[in-house]
């Protein structure tokens, strides 16, 4: 997809104002120091500054951001922990970074059905500890398991050393509530 940078920048300014009214101005981030941190991940890819970011704390924030970004024609780059090595969290087209790193809840664990419901920013290591406390085992163990998020693991189909025996993330996902533009 090709985005005209000047048009995206103008639309991003309007989008930021609109989203501040809709989800709260404290969730719309324009601070250049924070945006600098959101311009990169742990890959060797060149950082690219987003026009602004949204710090989502709930599904409604995600829905609002995607609805309004579609309306304004602004590209969105989703992001959680930013520990990826593939450049997936870098906002190549500018626009808005949709930061879900505050959505960290383990909504529930059902040991009987061996299922859990988690938010995308849930840290893999925290999730592993929580399911182990219930007598269960979650095998995917990416190298950054202490800091990476389950949402990123799903996006990149993360594995780790135990993948040879137990498989990668896709073998442990039974469903996803997904918001699309």
Contact partners, residue 110, CB within 8 Å, separation at least 6: 116
Q: Are 41 and 82 in contact (CB under 8 A)?
A: yes
Instruction: Please report which confidence band the pLDDT of residue 7 belongs to, taking 50, 70 and 90 as the band edges.
Output: confident
Query: Is residue 97 pLDDT above 80, yes or no?
Result: yes
Query: Is residue 2 pLDDT above 70, yes or no?
Result: no
How far, in Å, are 15, 73, 93, 150 from residue 1 at the CA level? Answer: 20, 12, 9, 27
Compute the average pLDDT of residues 6-35: 96
Axis crossing angle, helix 5-23 with helix 59-72, rounded to the nearest 10: 140
CA distance 62 to 115: 24
- Look up the pTM and report it: 0.93
Q: Are 1 and 93 in contact (CB under 8 A)?
A: yes
Instruction: Please report which confidence band the pLDDT of residue 1 belongs to, taking 50, 70 and 90 as the band edges.
Output: low
What pLDDT, on a 0 to 100 scale, did the predictor assign at position 114?
A: 96
Strand partners, 60: none
């Amino acid at each position: 997809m090709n985005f005209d940078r000047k048009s995206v920048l103008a639309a991003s300014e309007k989008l930021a104002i609109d989203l501040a009214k809709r989800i709260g101005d404290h969730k719309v981030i324009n601070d250049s120091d924070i945006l600098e941190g959101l311009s990169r991940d742990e890959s060797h890819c060149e950082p690219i500054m987003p026009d602004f970011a949204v710090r989502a704390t709930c599904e409604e924030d995600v829905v609002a951001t995607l609805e309004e970004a579609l309306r304004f024609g602004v590209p969105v780059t989703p992001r959680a922990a930013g520990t990826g090595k593939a450049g997936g969290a870098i906002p190549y087209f500018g626009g808005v970074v949709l930061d879900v790193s505050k959505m960290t809840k383990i909504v529930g664990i059902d040991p009987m059905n061996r299922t859990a419901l988690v938010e995308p920013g849930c840290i893999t290591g925290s999730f592993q500890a929580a399911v182990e406390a219930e007598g269960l085992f979650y095998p995917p163990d990416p190298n950054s398991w202490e800091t990476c998020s389950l949402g990123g693991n799903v996006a990149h189909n993360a594995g780790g050393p135990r993948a040879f025996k137990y498989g990668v993330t896709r073998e442990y996902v039974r469903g996803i509530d997904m918001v699309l533009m």
